[in-house]
Amino acid sequence: MSTPVIQVKDLKTYFQTPKGVAKAVDGVSFEIPKGGTFALVGESGCGKSVTALSLIQLVPEPAGYIAGGEILLNGRDIAGLTEREKRAIRGNKISMIFQEPMTSLNPVFTIGDQIMETIRLHQRKTSAEARTLAMEMFGKVGLPNPESLINEYPHRLSGGMRQRVMIAIALSCKPDLLIADEPTTALDVTIQDQIIELIREVKESTGTAILLITHNLALVYRNAGTVGVMYAGKIVELTATKNLFRNPMHPYTVKLLRSIPGGEKRGKALDTISGTVPPATSYPAGCHFSGRCPREMEGCASVYPELTERAAGHTVACHLHDPEFMAGGNSKPLRHEPDALPPLTAPYAEREVLLDVRALKTHYPVRKGLFKKITGFVKAVDGIDLTVRKGATLALVGESGCGKTTAGKSIIQLIRPTAGEILFKGSDLARMDERTIKPFRSLIQIIFQDPYSSLNPRLMIKDTIEEGIKVLKPGLGKAERERKITEVLDRVGLTPDMMYRYPHEFSGGQRQRIGIARALAVDPEFIVCDEAVSALDVSVQAQILNLLKSIQRDFGLSFLFITHDLSVVEYIADEVAVMYDGKIVERNSTVEIFSNPVHDYTKKLLAAIPKIDEELVKLWKLPGK
Amino acid sequence: MPVILATDLIVYFLVAMIVYFIIGAGKEGTVKTAWSELRKNRLAMVSMVFLAVYVMTAVMDCVRWRDPVLMTSGEASRSTDGGVIYSPQALSLLDRAASKMRLNAEKTYSAPFSDHLFTKEPVELPDGRVVRDYPKLKFPGTHWLGTDKVGNDVFFIALKGVRTGIVIGAGTTIIIIPFAIFFGVVAGFHGGFIDDIVQYVYTTLSSIPGVLLIVAFMLLFGNSGYQGGLLSQKEVFLRIFVPNDRLFWLCLILGITSWTDLCRLIRGETLKLRELEYVQASKAFGVSSPGIIYRHIVPNLMHLVLITFVLQFSGLVLAEAVLSYIGIGVGPEMGSWGNMINTARLELSREPVVWWNLFGSFLFMFALVLPANIFGDAVRDALDPRLRYR
């Protein structure tokens, strides 16, 4: 057997922080053979990206440093190289593509300049040769008309095309290893599919080894040969992809897998992991997952489980699979969560129409010239009809730029629509002014996508939630308002004392809960969830979805769920409307749409979702008795 | 007989603001949390002491009154209708406290802490011979920063410059900030027609060369004003309040020409902020525009305002120097660092160099601008909840 392209042995990357040493990567070992794909999965903050940065020798210095271990590229240790030697490796032997194609290209250079820069940096080529190679690379990654494209600036390209350019740049020097750090997260579903397909083709034709970093487990299932599940700086399970999905052994892996939403889980709660990843400065002495593990035993927090082969080609770091440990006195379970998940369904009795949108149009004028003459319109929303029933969820799906967010904002009157009717309980919101609409403001609310920009960083949580109550329920006194805030915080799973804190003290999931609490505080009947779970980790996403379902059940709420994530739609929505270019192309019940799509676009959308076989889902059981 | 200049009001306003914040620091609220945060920062506290000394000096220099003209008998002289005659010179508290420094003048230049003049003169020895030598000073060793061409104490002149510096810095900022915040936020938040007008105004203003505008303005309004020193017949007639103060016009025109930069910044930031989701959430609650601006926009702009204030402060003190250089700054009788730098220009070309005028103004400006920068940064951090609990 030839030497693997990259061998990582007990890699430790630490960061010096005011709170102490943060062990972002704390002893990680893996190897990738030529032409192999290795996937690193885990929640955010587990050290996946830092591992990648360590490989390419770009750990931000001086705060971060490689504290130990070896990184062997074709058998040669690259950790101790000089900066000059490292530069010769970066982009040449190891290259990387990033998550955000919108910002990873420099806007003031043509894409041709940018790829040729890399080529000429690492290869002895004349500019004409580099140009030829650049065009060849563009052709290889499926970009149309390389001859004209080479002179284009990045802003003229769509996100998918930019990601192709990034891949072309990354591959231009025929690297031995390509690191793909969340390469598709920022892209639309159909584009995601194409990019993944492209990476796969490239791997097969060039034999480049790939390190795929992602939190999308379905993507891993489809593309990786070997998977390492990373948790709190360590790999906790390492095996062939087949094995992992057929027989996940670590409780963390099982939990992660079971938190993926999907059609087969409709009506049931999603599995969640309580708590958050511990900060890298203070890991538990024993298993890092102790404290969150559903099968924790007495010795788990103090004894560290080594990563050991427990089945053929299947290594896992968990005491549950260690017969010696299980026979000892430390194996008394501390908690034992049941395997079965509780049902979580909203009562579906009331089916009356709450919101009826008819022929809604929102056009933005395009103004030009000195006197801002209107020269045309951008038809963001161009005549859509929607019906939301009481206690039900309507999902509005579509790719970015199709106008779904504008539609949502038009419905709750954050943007004034151009034409059409928005009948909420029979009254037309579109014809109301700011004064007459006020009684409806408390009934219709919105939850946003980005948990980081949805809360004012300078206001305490109390003030943020109180704002709406003050405006919409002026009759309430100070004490009553406080009681209400306590109540909603409690409802979304936060403690009342948190109201005196500022947003930056919370994690993404907690902030999203606060956003939900803010909307709930004014007793709404209808909530627009604008990509409300898209920015969250899969485990946190599951918590928020469960929360949304349970408040829907308890308060009889209706949701308009705007999203591009179809597995979430399949799990949560009762009805689906597919939007394309400002228009609704298909409307039906979720089951119908997923089993029997009619419109071509819907078919294309559905085909692009990376899916895990349904039979496998039934196999995911927590280990232990 | 007290005399109040228009620019004194600026200093009084500054003091009133400080008092307001001290009272605010006693009550629960943003100011109190910011203050308790600020107190942990030792560097900021040291800077605050420096700033306090400057403000105190400026305040002392703003309390002034005219003394009666005394007769040799010691009585106040009276005019024919029996009214007391007051001297046309109004001396401030600072002048009176430092009267020794003010009055102990030498003949001409002398180096800091020196006991003799800087230039050689014919000196008559006790035996009657006349030699060229450095004459002894009248007050040897008392001039910390030496004396200037006419023998005045440089330290005292620099001390008088404190008021001018503070007035220019604070006065101009008091004009800039409300203008910039109001127009910037309104333009950015509402957009459309209002935005067009505001942009038009500041683009026009900033397309006129600043110095040209300032010169024209000062020649129109500032020239007839009180320039420091003796009060003119007209100002004596006004008795207490002297509205036409050249420094005041200077603040005004500097304010008018320099609010545009901050306004542009604020407009841009507001454009960004108004699309943020917490502002959208507020709109979904039906909160009024002023409410959103007050709660969500302005607090998130304050870092820009503070940074600009601190950077502009030093710029303004320097602008005063430039304007004095072209002869439209404050009058030569009113001590200012700009005037000192202006004089230093010729002194630096002497051989040997007379360096202490420049050094004095540098020292005083440095000891004001550096702490102001540090303090401004500390205040910005203290106001930001994200940086607390570290």
Q: pLDDT for A440-492, tens place per residue?
A: 998 999 999 888 888 998 889 999 999 999 999 888 889 999 999 999 999 99
Per-residue model confidence (pLDDT) at position A345: 63
B41 located within any domain: yes
CATH of the domain at B34: 1.10.3720.10
Per-residue pLDDT of chain B (390 residues; tens, 9 = 90+): 888 888 899 999 999 999 998 888 878 777 888 888 888 889 999 999 999 999 999 999 999 888 888 888 888 888 888 788 888 888 899 999 988 888 888 888 888 988 888 888 888 888 888 888 888 888 888 888 989 888 899 999 999 999 998 998 888 988 899 999 999 999 999 988 899 999 999 999 888 888 888 888 888 887 777 877 778 777 777 678 887 788 888 899 989 888 998 999 999 999 999 888 899 999 888 888 999 999 999 989 988 888 888 888 778 877 887 887 777 888 878 888 888 888 888 889 888 889 999 999 999 989 998 998 899 889 888 888 887 654
In a domain, B85, yes or no: no
User: Number of folded domains in chain B?
Assistant: 1
Q: Is A105 on the interface with B (CB under 8 A)?
A: no
Per DSSP, which regions of A286-436 are E strands? 308-311, 314-316, 353-368, 373-389, 393-397, 419-424, 427-428
How many A-B residue pairs are in contact by the CB < 8 A criterion? 75
Which of A446, A453, A463 has its CB closest to that of B276? A453
Q: What is the C-alpha to C-alpha distance for residues A448 and A533, in angstroms, rounded to an integer?
A: 9
One-letter amino acid at A439 equals P
| CB contact (8 A) between residue B280 and residue A522 | no
Any idea which architecture A391-415+434-616 has in CATH? 3-Layer(aba) Sandwich (3.40)
What is the rounded CA–CA span in Å between residue A616 and residue B181? 60
Q: What are the residues whose beta carbons fall under 8 Å from the beta carbon of A522, sequence distance 6 or more?
A: A441, A442, A445, A468, A469, A472, A473, B285
Backbone torsions φ then ψ of A371, nearest 5 degrees: -100, 15
Note the pLDDT tens digit of each residue in A560-583: 999 988 888 988 898 999 999 899
Does B122 map to a domain? no
Nearest chain A alpha carbon to B298:
A458
pLDDT attached to residue A51: 92
pLDDT at A462: 92
In degrees, to the nearest 5, what angle opens at C-alpha A394 toward C-alphas A390 and A395? 160
CB–CB contact B278 A456 (8 Å): yes
- Flag whether residue A434 sits within 8 Å of chain B, measured between CB atoms: yes
Rounded CA-CA distance B337/B359 in Å is 10
Q: Residue A75: exposed, middle, or buried by beta-carbon count in 10 A (0-12, 13-18, 19+)?
A: exposed
User: Does the distance separating the beta carbons of B299 and A458 come in below 8 Å?
Assistant: yes
> Which residues of chain A does B280 touch, with a Cβ-Cβ cutoff of 8 Å?
409, 414, 446, 448
CA of residue A376 relative to chain centroid, distance = 36
Q: Supply the pLDDT for residue A350.
A: 53
Q: What is the pLDDT of residue A622?
A: 81
Nearest residue of chain A to residue B192 (CA atoms): A372
Domain ranges, ordered by start, for chain A: 102-173, 391-415+434-616
Is residue B76 assigned to a domain? no
The rounded distance, in Å, linking the Cα atoms of A250 and A588 is 39
Residue B206 falls inside a structural domain: yes
Chain A's closest residue to B383, CA to CA, is A458
Distance CA B222, CA B228 (A): 13
- pLDDT score of B222: 77
Q: Are strands B86-92 and B64-68 parallel, antiparallel or unpaired?
A: antiparallel
**Contact (CB<8Å) B278/A454:** yes
Contacting residues of B for A414, CB less than 8 Å apart: 280, 283-284
In this prediction the pTM is: 0.83
Give the per-residue pLDDT at B138.
Answer: 87
Q: Which residues of chain A have pLDDT under 50?
A: 349
Cβ contacts of A457 on chain B, cutoff 8 Å: 300, 384-386
Q: Which residue of A has its CA nearest to B387?
A: A504
A441 touches chain B (CB under 8 A): yes
B141 lies in some domain:
no
Domain that holds residue B25: 2-66+153-388
B280 contacts A467? CB cut-off 8 A: no
